[in-house]
Amino acid sequence: MANRNEIPYKIYLEESEMPKAWYNLRADMKEKPAPLLNPATHEPASLDELSAVFCRELAEQELNNNDAYIEIPEEIRSFYKMYRPSPLVRAYCLEKALGTPAKIYYKFEGNNTSGSHKLNSAIAQAYYAKKQGLKGVTTETGAGQWGTALSMACAYFDLDCKVYMVKVSYEQKPFRREVMRTYGADVTPSPSMTTEVGKKILEAHPGTTGSLGCAISEAVEYAVSHEGYRYVLGSVLNQVLLHQSVIGLETKAALDKYGIKPDTIIGCAGGGSNLGGLIAPFVGEKLRGEADYQFIAVEPASCPSLTRGTYAYDFCDTGMICPLAKMYTLGSNYIPAPNHAGGLRYHGMSTVLSALRAQGILDAVSYKQSDVFAAAVQFARVEGILPAPESSHAIRAAIDTALKCKETGEEKTIVFGLTGTGYFDLYGYQKYNDGQLENYIPTDEEIAESLEKLPKF
């Protein structure tokens, strides 16, 4: 047992203390997340149907609601050891700057070249693709972290990697593209003329800056129409949350080592991969009645699926070729305003997190991006790390929670997920530094209009 009186700035687990199995929260959920549906039949998607799009073992993981633990293969564990365990950091300097009695910790996932937690699932998905003897994988990327992560994983396993990158990010972030190329990936701005669905979208919306939903459709089309390819996705899916549970398992092990019990656990939420992974073992404890925690999802006001969306079956992609998922959604045609600088721009939310939200276990808040960048800069100047705009949503909520503690005198223990670094997001920071970062909040009418296209059945 570590010395509980002296909590270091950074708690690092030993490599031998790293999780040997992922934790599958679904096994502990009495009300399971709603199943994916075949978009044609509206019947639950079968293993064979999913295996046409995803690698076989990943499709099995997608459907596995029963096994609480799934072993992490040795090859993946070896790769994890190159950048994990990640540190759980005590934000001593931020606490001091805020003058709060709260204790703030963050699990920092940015110490790798992808700059985020995305690598945790990328390496798993590349491993299963390689194991299945595939030639390559396709995917979409928004802010670029996922595409970078997958490029790195594919370089490691010598797989072909085809990335459709949301056009607005492709243009704002040429250097993200260049990192992917350095790792050998082929990067195409989406929507593109390289797929049927891309052509259709470009015809309907000639000036579109793209969306994750479009890029997913293109990546899926390429995968299913090319021999030896499968599609992989960086968020939303059950399998991704499963892989990301390594974040939460390490966090819990580090907290337990020092006898720390969190009150509030906070994460940013786009598709839900980081938040779902971070909170998984803690939600498990709560569901089993072993402990109680508050969980807060933080999303951008410009893309507020959990706070303003509807809980319903919807398409996962704009092209409507993927299975349907029951989730909090803004409608698969929803595209956040182009002035939105961070990621977290997906129209829906992981079915697991959506179910937890519907069951009253997960709270949710949204913030304007100017407030988010203000928190980012405050954090950077005292804690040293320049955070990703996505992660800064969680920082904002953590700071606000800590400031509330200052008012009430509560000595809460706050844990938040610092999913990544903002080194490739300087375009957004530049706008903020120049006072030109505009906020956009969709009107109720805009959201209602987008939701009109929900599948009806």
Site for its own copies, rule CB under 8 A: 8-10, 12, 14-15, 78-79, 81-83, 89, 92-93, 111-113, 115, 152, 155-156, 174-175, 178-179, 181-184, 377, 380-386, 421, 423-424, 426-427, 429-430, 433
- Please work out, in degrees rounded to the nearest 5, the angle formed at the alpha carbon of residue 69 by the alpha carbons of 65 and 72: 120
In total, the chain counts a number of residues equal to 457
In terms of CB distance, is 21 or 155 closer to its own copies?
155
Q: How far is the CB of 195 from its own copies (least distance, A)?
A: 24
Nearest to residue 216, comparing CAs of 313, 139, 299? 139
Identify which of residues 64 and 378 has a Cβ nearer to its own copies in the complex.
378
- Residue 14 Cβ, how far from its own copies at the closest point, in Å? 7
- The amino acid present at 199, given as its one-letter code, is K
63 vs 377 by CB, closer to its own copies = 377
**Which residue number, 93 or 361, has a Cβ lying nearer to its own copies?**
93
Q: How far is the CA of 52 from the CAs of 243, 326, 418, in angstroms?
A: 21, 21, 35
8 A C-beta contact, residue 323 and residue 36:
yes
CB of 55 to its own copies, least distance (A): 22
Nearer to its own copies, 309 or 389 (CB): 389
Return the axis-axis angle of helices 238-257 and 273-287, rounded to nearest 10°.
Answer: 60
Q: Which residue has the tokens 């599958």?
A: 24
- Residues 372/393, Cβ–Cβ less than 8 Å: yes
User: Within a 10 A sphere around the Cβ of 431, how many other Cβ atoms?
Assistant: 17
For the beta carbon of residue 368, count every other beta carbon within 10 angstroms.
Answer: 17
- The pair of structure tokens assigned to 385 is 């790390």
* CA 417 distance to own-chain centroid: 11
Look at residue 23 and give its three-state secondary structure.
strand
Integer Cα distance of 198 and 177 in angstroms: 19
Pick 182 or 359: Cβ nearer its own copies: 182
Q: 185 vs 316, which CB is nearer to its own copies?
A: 185
Which single residue is written with the structure tokens 């080194």? 423
Residues in Cβ contact with 193 at an 8 Å cutoff, skipping those fewer than 6 apart: 199, 202
Nearer to its own copies, 12 or 311 (CB): 12
The distance of closest approach from Cβ of residue 340 to its own copies in the complex, given in angstroms and rounded to an integer, is 19
- Of 320 and 382, the one with the shorter C-beta distance to its own copies is 382
Distance, in Å, from the CA atom of 69 to the CA atom of 24, rounded to the nearest integer, reads 6
Q: Which amino acid would we find at residue 102?
A: A
Smallest distance from its own copies to CB 334, Å: 30
3-state secondary structure of 246: helix
Tokens of 208: 């579109």
Rounded least distance, CB 8 to its own copies, Å:
4
Between residues 23 and 79, which has the closer beta carbon with respect to its own copies? 79
Q: Which is nearer to its own copies, 217 or 421 (CB)?
A: 421
| Helices 426-433, 369-383: inter-axial angle, 10-degree rounding | 100
Q: State how far the Cα of 172 lies from the Cα of 142, in Å rounded to an integer.
A: 11
**Shortest gap between Cβ of 258 and its own copies (angstroms)?**
13
Nearest distance, CB of residue 183 and its own copies, angstroms: 6
* Of 88 and 330, CB closest to its own copies: 88
Q: How far is the CB of 81 from its own copies (least distance, A)?
A: 4
Own/partner pairs for 227-230, CB < 8 Å, 24+ apart?
A: 227/135, 228/134, 228/135, 228/136, 229/134, 229/135, 229/136, 229/137, 229/138, 229/160, 229/162, 230/53, 230/54, 230/55, 230/129, 230/132, 230/134, 230/137, 230/138
- Closest approach, Cβ 426 to its own copies, in A, equals 4
Q: What is the DSSP string of 184-239?
A: T-EEEEES-TTSHHHHHHHHHSTT----HHHHHHHHHHHHHTSTTEEE--SSSSHH
CB of 370 to its own copies, least distance (A): 15
Distance in Å, CB of 383 to its own copies, minimum: 7
